[in-house]
Amino acid sequence: MYYDVVLPGDYFFDLIYTDLPEFPSPGREVYSKGIAATGGAMFITAVSLRRLGVRAGWVACFGNDYYSEYVHRLALEEDLDLSLAACVDQPYRRVTTAIPFQGERAFVTYADPSPLDLQAHSLSAMQQCDFAHLHLGGIMSLERLTPLANEARSQGATISMDCQDVPNLHTAGTWKHVLSMVDVFMPNAREARIVSGTDSLDGALRWLTQWTKVVVVKDGANGAWVASEDSIAHVPAISVGPVVDTTGAGDCFNAGFLFGYVVEKAPVPLCARYGNICGGLSVTQVGGATAAPTLEQLKKISAQGEGKAGNP
């Protein structure tokens, strides 16, 4: 079995409240005018890739609870290949309540302990197939990353890694070694500054490119920055409609970028343009993958105008 991209990473059930009159405060009840339930985390990137025609293999784990079954059903409705996923006969609840308000968000999350060794499951799944690229949804410790990276390299695959703003970003001292094992690092602007230990985005870009080949920094309405050893370019954001919900937009961006990088083998700024289109469409509806484009839609919007590069 062959995949363009293999994606180890758990599902999340996202419950998203929208159109709030004010942000909730202690002791007060606030009624939203909208609510939606959908898949989150790696579901967003996997489904977004599938809509672009990319052969994506999602290495997930689902339980026998309502939340698992709901997201599993959504994935099948999107014709997503779940051959590499595990299903266990016990609850495995992973639920996030998202509250977007005026461009910002708050989250409350619950996650059951894992019913299996997810590291071993991911490695076993990777050994069962052939693939061109490994995408990791969050930064990993060197100990966890090394066997996955070694398996990817044994197949000649490239590797990308998103970040996630976890507490140990501030304290861990191994990120230089972690990032040296991947080809593309894809943090947002805040994460890039934390990991690099610098106060400016320009400094973060220049520092991180000493550790990995390509750095792609997602900067929300400011678009994206792409950097390699000898260049830094700005790729403007794509506005395709009013902002409704920013939850998961970065995960949708990742899919557009990876389509360009893995399938088209396009120049990195064009990959980021694809990412900006996917991310820009994502925020126009509730849920990260709800408005993710088809390949035809992506190409149509991309053809409407080329982004201009600049320096930070």
Q: What is the pTM of this model?
A: 0.93
Q: How far apart are the first and last CA of the chain?
A: 43
At residue 184, the pLDDT reads 98
Q: Sign of the CA dihedral 241, 188, 157, 85?
A: negative
Q: Is residue 268 within 8 Å of 226, Cβ to Cβ? A: yes
Share of the chain above pLDDT 70, in %: 96
Angle, CA 251 vertex, CA 247 and CA 252 arms, to 5°: 90
- What is the per-residue pLDDT across 98-128, written as a single tens digit (0 to 9) for each? 888 876 778 899 999 999 999 999 999 999 9
Architecture of domain 2-24+31-303: 3-Layer(aba) Sandwich (3.40)
SS3 state at 86: strand
Instruction: Supply the pLDDT for residue 173.
Output: 64
Q: Classify 76 as helix, strand or coil.
A: helix
Give the up-direction half-sphere exposure of residue 260: CA atoms within 13 A in the CB hemisphere: 21
The Cα 253–Cα 160 span in angstroms is: 13
Phi then psi for residue 195, to 5 deg, are -65, -40
- DSSP, collapsed to helix, strand or coil, labels residue 54 as coil
Maximum Cα–Cα distance for the chain, whole Å?
56
Cα distances from 280 to residues 202, 211, 286, 288, in angstroms, run 23, 29, 12, 10
- What is the domain partition of the chain in residue ranges? 2-24+31-303
- Contact indicator for 42, 95 with CB cutoff of 8 Å: no
Q: Is the pLDDT of residue 190 over 50?
A: yes
Checking if the pLDDT of 309 tops 50, the result is: no
pLDDT in tens, 46-99: 999 999 999 999 999 999 999 999 999 999 999 999 999 999 999 999 999 988
| β-sheet bridge partners, residue 186 | 162
